[in-house]
Structure 1
């Protein structure tokens, strides 16, 4: 028997997934109306759950941070340092971590968001340290490099465009192409390649965007 709580939780999951999808397509201009329509719920239902668009996006950010941290902890549980780092990157990219980048600086960063992000940084630091000490990760790759790489690969415009066009027949091929790109990127992180150009990116490049000007 389906209860009211079941319906509420199902609608909430649909809203959060819809918000992720709309953000991926429309960026910071994503509207509450578009999110509600994508989720198949009335806009009144959305506002009963989230009082403002900012509150919805803050919840979405927490969900993304939780996934990042869980993926990192899974990676650290792997006794193979390279496999652990690769698993982390792959899980984050496939989750679509980069889809939240457009709202950086547009919402207030709550204490809970800040705490989870700080813990995520610590976990990634450890993943990178293990892989580097094992000689598996190229020495000139930093945690910021990996964070930016995940952000770039987490957004896959080809698949977004195909979904907009209703070309569901091509989506399996797009998913396969994305897996190939992830494999290419991971190979580029391995030790033994020519030095990277320029200086390593500063952490401010990745995190500074989330501070309201």
Structure 2
């Protein structure tokens, strides 16, 4: 009996992770217009399974935001624990950019903000302000850059139109090249915040196939997604 309950608990947790991951992916593509049916289909579960876990779409969005806010706060705390002010700031930015597929900003204003969300957001804002202030004191951050500048940059970099388009086209043969290109662009953008010249750009110089191959008809292996 215990084994059966344990298996059931693991299955529920697995389905929940799949739902949350699918919700982030659908939100990145459809924004606030994301439907429950699309989220359930992306997760590979029935709509009934989703509603058994989250009574409303608002409840699902609230859960996603709580997870994101905790991830951002954890990343900021980790950055503050690092001895190098620039590396601490960069760690926070990179962790936040990579925390999920796209920003949750498109759903802002579509559901009620809970007291827990407000508290986590406040803690995160204070931690990021400390990261920025510390970097300014060490003179490693470009003069005039504010915490809001940093957060807006993270929001812009959290989504990759190139990767989204290639995914829709089913162009998996370009996955590695697109990921390499994205990492370079993120590094270039974050290095623009530095007070001193940065080092070389990482990765391979991207090729124009990332543009030209998008215009070519998909191969038989490529399966466009909806």
TM bucket (normalised to shorter chain) is 0.7 to 0.9
What's the counterpart of residue 121 of structure 1?
Answer: 125
Deviates more, 1:155-164 or 1:53-62: 155-164
Q: TM-score, normalised by structure 2?
A: 0.83
Q: Please tell me whether residue 188 in structure 1 is matched to residue 192 in structure 2.
A: yes
Alignment partner, residue 95 of structure 1:
99
Query: Aligned equivalents of 1:180 and 1:96: distance in 2?
Result: 18
Q: TM-score, normalised by structure 1?
A: 0.87
- 1:104-119 pair list within 5 angstroms: 104-119=108-123
Superposed CA deviations along residues 18-59 of structure 1, whole A, max 9, x for unmatched, are 000000111110000000000000000000000000100100
Which of 154, 157, 162 is the matching residue for 2:158?
Answer: 154
* Runs of 5+ unmatched residues, structure 1: 194-213
Deviates more, 1:38-47 or 1:160-169: 160-169
Q: For residue 78 of structure 1, what is the aligned residue in structure 2?
A: 82
Equivalent of residue 61 in structure 1, options 37, 61, 65: 65
Answer whether contact 1:137 1:189 (CA < 8 A) is retained.
Answer: yes
Match of 2:45 among 24, 41, 48: 41
Which stretches in structure 2 are left out of the alignment for 5+ residues? 198-226
Taking the aligned partners of 1:149 and 1:98, their CA distance within structure 2 comes to 13
1:175 aligned residue: 179
Q: Provide the secondary structure at the position in 2 that maps to 1:149.
A: helix
Structure 1: how far apart are the matches of 2:57 and 2:178? 31
Return closer, same or farther for 1:120/1:190 CA change in 2, 3 Å cut-off: same
Distance, in Å, in 2 between the alignment partners of 1:97 and 1:20 is 6
Richer in helix (by share) = 1
Partner of 1:144: 148
Shift of 1:191: 1.2
SS in 2 for 1:51: coil
Partner of residue 20 from structure 1, selected from 24, 45, 51: 24
Deviation at 1:99, TM superposition (A): 2.1
How many residues were matched structurally? 193
Three-state SS of the structure 1 residue aligned to 2:192 is helix
Residue 98 of structure 1 and its aligned partner are, at CA, apart by 4.5
CA distance in 2, matches of 1:32, 1:192: 47
- Pair 1:133 & 2:156 matched: no
